Amino acid sequence: MTFRLLKKCLYVYRQNYMTDTPTTPPYPQGISFEGPLTRFCLYSANAQKVELGLFLPESEIPQQTIALIRTGDFWHIELPDITKGTHYAYRCYGEWNPEKRNLFIQTNWLLDPYAKHLNTYAKWNVKPLINVRGIIQEAPAFNWEDTKSPSLPKEDLVIYEMHVRGLTAHQSSEATSKGTYAAMIEKIPYLKKLGVNVVELLPIYEFDECHCKNTNPETLEPLVNYWGYNSISYFAPKKSYSASGDPITEFKTLVKELHKNKIEVILDVVYNHTGEGSSDYAISWRGIDNQTYYMAGDYTGCGNTLNANHPQVQTMILDSLRYWVQEMHIDGFRFDLASTFTRESNGHPMEKPPILEAMANDPILKSVKLIAEAWDAGGLYQVGLFPTLGPWSDWNGKYRDIVRKFLKGTDSNGDKFAAVLMGSDFLYHSTSPLSSVNFIVAHDGFTLRDLVTYQGKHNLANGEENKDGNDQNDNWNCGEEGTTTNPDILALRERQMRNHWLALLLAQGIPMLLMGDEYGHTRFGNNNPYPQDNELNWFLWDNLNKYPEIFDFVAKLIAFRKEHPELRRTKFLKPEEITWHGSKPNKPNFSSRLIAFSTNTPSKLYCAFNADHQGIDIELPSPNFYLIVNTFDNWGNHHFSNQGPRLPIKLKLEAHTALLAIELNK
């Protein structure tokens, strides 16, 4: 045997059979660069062999196939002088073991979970993604112009939940490149005029909008996964939201411009499951290491539940979050179905989940906003838990349900309504009212207008025979289903919308608005429009122009909240700082559908909600109160900036009406 042949045999042996076990990965996971070298590193504890494929951009067949070296559970190699723009993917080999749920295949090339540049489509809704690969390229240089995060205190936040594409997709947006990050920049002046200072973006991690089985039952046209809760990469922004074809630079530009205007960016992120189907191995981590990445059970309703407390999956999630904070300057995250984070690999809830402890102690992540959707599809409901485990706030589903039930007037739950107005101390106890993100509606469910217009859901257009979406919504159509010409019903609906707005923006905690509610957007009763890429979901700028009085009411109410620190408390109100007015001294009025209180703070406010079907006589605590809002008036008759009339000490609060007043010594 010649020396050259012996050397080659040794190289092959080292490539395929060395299994030393270091305590740390040999390289950062994903790809990295050092001079002329490109380094590749992939985790797979159960693979027997891993190959790297290098592809020309338009080729389905690899130009080179290279076996990787194994060190512990990491497969890696460094290669010199690889042409930037080359595509890459991995192929893992193994055996099926039903006990360990290992699945490795030898035919498909798999996407690197750490890939930051993908060969996905630059245009929206082209065709299903297949053969998704990473692209070998370094991050483009970007000038942040010394722009920093606004770093707003939690008590000052007013969150606007929105969809990047939906904000400007409609022709009435008059945006230059509709449905893109660039188009959203054009609408920053609007966001400032409304008064919101945080945008919470529905998923912008790369996803496959064509991954949807549904068709429209009338047109038979295929529907799309519009919302985007099916991430296929945790490091790449969605390319089809980019007008330029460079999603990283364009998204950074959006963040920079928002920060210049003192608006923070929170991302709605989906670390509870991955977006592929069980057989889509071209983008599946099942082919890389099924046993490591996934739980056996389905706790998301989508399958592919991530095993978040496995050390490797935990590392991947933390690396992803840090990347978005450090490289993209993101201010926080809202975690979809966050209760999956509290589960062991067998699905059992954990008292101290490692992933949550790691986030709480991470020097980068503990400085950003962390918001939990504190439930999952497996039945865990943990609102109130997450703030005890770190710097978290919750989507307060209890607030939503209690406010809806009280204001429609069917339940005499005044004590609960009073409690959520004060920050839900029964949930958050010794933490803070800022643990509560208060919302009445969100992307998932009815819009605010539909909440007061429809008794039942109307989801036939989703192609699931109206079986999808929640059946219980605590909604009330005010006497007639859907559109009507009855002036009394129309007036009641508008009044109920104003009541909900007042309850949202007066409550202690962090308020969250849904995009479009500020002009009364309707989805015509569809409470689960995830596959609707059309006017059901899009912001209709022409409707904003038709109903400016709703916008004006909301914007002025937001401004009023910002002007009064007693509405933005960091701690719960003390008993001596609030007086309840009702049939029992200093207690919420349990026996009726009236809740009335006044604050004993520097700005003395009086507020009353009558959820009854008839008027109620009330008495103000002094003769020096001036009207701010009476929701019985129409949108255009509200009073702000302390310009309202002086109120009589005794007056009648009409049915389904709320009142806000301020004490002034004129």
Q: Which residues are catalytic?
A: 336, 373
Both structure tokens of 372: 């939990």
Please report where in the chains the tokens 């008590």 appear, as a residue: 155
Both structure tokens of 209: 């909008």
What is the distance of C-alpha 307 from the center of its chain? Answer: 20
Query: Helix, strand, coil proportions of the chain in percent (round to 5)?
Result: 30, 20, 50
Contact criterion met (CB below 8 Å) for 567 and 599: no
Dihedral sign from CA coordinates of 231, 235, 240, 241: positive
| C-alpha–C-alpha distance, residues 115 and 320, integer Å | 11
Termini Cα distance of the chain: 105
Q: What angle do CA 132, 323, 135 make, to 5 degrees?
A: 25
Both structure tokens of 57: 């951009």
| C-alpha–C-alpha distance, residues 616 and 589, integer Å | 13
Please report where in the chains the tokens 């006589």 appear, as a residue: 617
Report helix, strand or coil for 325: helix
Q: Which residues, other chains included, contact 11 with Cβ-Cβ below 8 Å and sequence gap of 6+?
A: none
| C-alpha–C-alpha distance, residues 285 and 282, integer Å | 9
Contact criterion met (CB below 8 Å) for 620 and 662: no
Could you tell me which of 106, 113, 54, 111 has the C-alpha nearest to residue 85?
54
Query: Looking at residue 570, what DSSP letter applies?
Result: S
Residue 95 one-letter amino acid? E
Could you tell me which of 211, 190, 208 has the C-alpha nearest to residue 199?
190
- Neighbouring-strand partners of residue 596: 581, 608
Q: What are phi and psi of 192, to 5 degrees?
A: -65, -40
- Rg of the chain over all Cα atoms, to the nearest angstrom: 27
| C-alpha–C-alpha distance, residues 500 and 407, integer Å | 8
| C-alpha–C-alpha distance, residues 492 and 316, integer Å | 51
